Amino acid sequence: MTTATQTARTEDSHTTKRRIALVLLPEFALLPFSSAIEPLRAANRFLGHEAYAWDLFAATGPRAEASCGIGFEVQALPAEPKGYDLILVCSGLQAHRFTDEALQAWLRRAARSGIVVGALGDATFVLAKAGLLTNRRSVIHWTCLDGFVESYPEIDVRPDSFLVDGNIITCSGGTAAFEMMLQFIERDFGPALADQVSDYFLYLREQEHGARGPLPLSIRLRISHPRLRKVVELMEENLEEPLAIRDLADAVDISTRQLERLFRSQIKTTAKKYYLERRLQKARRLLAHSALSVTEISLSCGFQQQGHFSRQYRLAFGENPSETRRRGLGSLPT
């Protein structure tokens, strides 16, 4: 960095002030919310002045409660989103059920005025409902990915931790929000401050932010055999239209007997039972994180008859699909 650039950055650090609006949806997740706020608080401390300021809002009511039960006193949304550099919508795992046309219109006005509008976690659903992701790349928390793709097949959704596309940003949630805010701090005040904030929180920065989500199944299941790993990948790619076990074996040039031996030795189950489990896990995610009907979910997971799907689902999870849908609390996929 040149001396002139260093001088400009030093002068700018005393004049730059970013205003941020955080819109908290019911049962928002506390981790991505705090991961977005804490780097800014630390940056203010290191700079010695309030370079970043934020306000908390909710679409309705004077109080917003996180999914863990911690509540915050908040303001009502102002009539117009003026004066903010960044607006972040914070949610948990229920945004696919949240609809507020006034909030959607408010976000559209903000985006049209040039304000950066973003979403943390499954709040990507809110931006999609507002029409802000048309012709944009986006991300969402991996547990909500199946439901989002089914609901908005026309939207380009990526497996990144966060994406900035024009003045629209989406973040997969969790600690990815921390990395995203470090990027903003680096943009505003340079890498030295971003690294200082990162070190303060004992956070190891990613050199290149990329895909964030569960580890590949082949790693999580400790699959060492390359042919078995390939079969598992083929199953994941064909949950809606399941392949015959014989065809899976043919695809990796082994017999069905050899394939079954591999499943029993490395995954401790049969190929058929494992394939069924993966389809039912996808169904559970869709029931919890999408507005698709039970019939649509049944078909998207390879069950042509809803009755058969419901029986298999109850055997696997001890409840009917409709009970999972009412609770809206699908278990995390394994």
**What SS3 class is residue 263?**
helix
| Arithmetic mean of pLDDT, 62-72 | 86
Query: Are 272 and 125 within one domain?
Result: no
CATH code where residue 42 lies? 3.40.50.880
Tell me which of 150, 171, 200 is where a domain ends.
200
Same domain, 300 and 229: yes
Q: What is the mean pLDDT of the chain?
A: 86
pLDDT digits (tens, 9 = 90+) for 262-308: 999 888 899 999 999 999 999 998 898 888 899 999 999 999 999 99
Average pLDDT over residues 110-127: 95
Residue 297 is part of which domain span? Answer: 217-327
What is the pLDDT, as a whole number, of residue 208? 44
d(CA 296, CA 319): 18
Using alpha carbons only, give the angle 227, 233, 234 rounded to the nearest 5 degrees: 90
Average pLDDT over residues 106-110: 97
- Considering the domain architecture, whether residues 159 and 308 belong to the same structural domain is answered as no
* Same domain (yes/no): 39, 183: yes
Q: What is the DSSP letter of 186?
A: H
Terminal-residue alpha carbon distance, the chain: 47
Which range among 47-56, 126-135, 205-214 shows the weakest confidence by mean pLDDT? 205-214
Structural contact between residues 41 and 47, judged by C-beta atoms closer than 8 angstroms: no
What span, in angstroms and rounded, lies between the C-alpha atoms of 64 and 200? 29
* Same domain, yes or no: 196 and 222: no
pLDDT for 171 equals 95
Query: How do residues 2-37 score in pLDDT, each as one tens digit?
Result: 444 444 444 455 556 899 999 999 889 999 999 999
47 and 149 co-located in one domain:
yes
Q: Which of 143, 172, 200 is the last residue of a domain?
A: 200
**122 and 240 part of one domain:** no
CB 52, CB 20: distance < 8 Å = yes
* Dist. CA 30–CA 163, nearest whole Å: 21
- 152 and 262 in one domain? no
CATH code of 248's domain: 1.10.10.60
Domain boundary among 173, 200, 227: 200
Q: Are residues 114 and 76 in the same domain?
A: yes
What's the sign of the alpha-carbon dihedral 68, 69, 72, 75? positive
Query: How do 71-73 and 52-58 pair as beta strands?
Result: unpaired
Overall number of domains in the chain: 2
Q: 137 or 214: which carries more pLDDT confidence? A: 137
pTM of the model: 0.71
Instruction: Identify the pLDDT of residue 93.
Output: 73
Alpha-carbon gap, residue 222 to 217, rounded angstroms: 8
* Residues 31 and 98 grouped into a single domain: yes
Q: Answer yes or no: do 109 and 176 share one domain.
A: yes
Residue 205 lies in a domain: no
Q: Is the CB of residue 310 less than 8 Å from the CB of residue 261? A: no
**8-state DSSP, 302:** T
pLDDT, tens digit, for every residue of 230-252?
A: 999 899 899 999 999 999 999 99
Name residues whose C-beta falls within 8 Å of residue 333's C-beta, 6 or more positions apart in sequence.
143, 214, 281, 282, 284, 285
